[in-house]
Amino acid sequence: MNKIIFKFSFLFLMIISSISKAQDPANTPKTDTLKKEKRTGTSDRNNISAHIGVFDPWVGVYYERLLSPYLGVDVAIGLIGGSIGVKGYFPKVANGKASFYTGFSEGILLTIGAKHYIPVGCSYLGNNGFRVSLDIGPQIYYDSGEEIQFGLSLKLGKSF
Residue 103 has pLDDT above 50, yes or no: yes
Residue 76 has pLDDT above 70, yes or no: yes
pLDDT average, residue stretch 33-62: 72
Q: Length of the chain in residues, anyone?
A: 160
What are 134's strand-pairing partners? 122, 154
Range of the domain at 83: 2-159
Residue 105: Cβ within 10 Å count: 21
pLDDT of residue 145: 74
pLDDT winner (highest mean) among 7-11, 16-20, 35-39, 63-67: 63-67
Determine phi and psi for 159, rounding to 5 degrees: -95, 145
Q: How many domains does the chain have?
A: 1
- 31: domain CATH number? 2.40.160.20
The model carries a pTM of 0.71
Residue 33 has pLDDT above 50, yes or no: no
Residue 58 CA to residue 115 CA, distance in Å, equals: 15
Residue 59 has pLDDT above 50, yes or no: yes
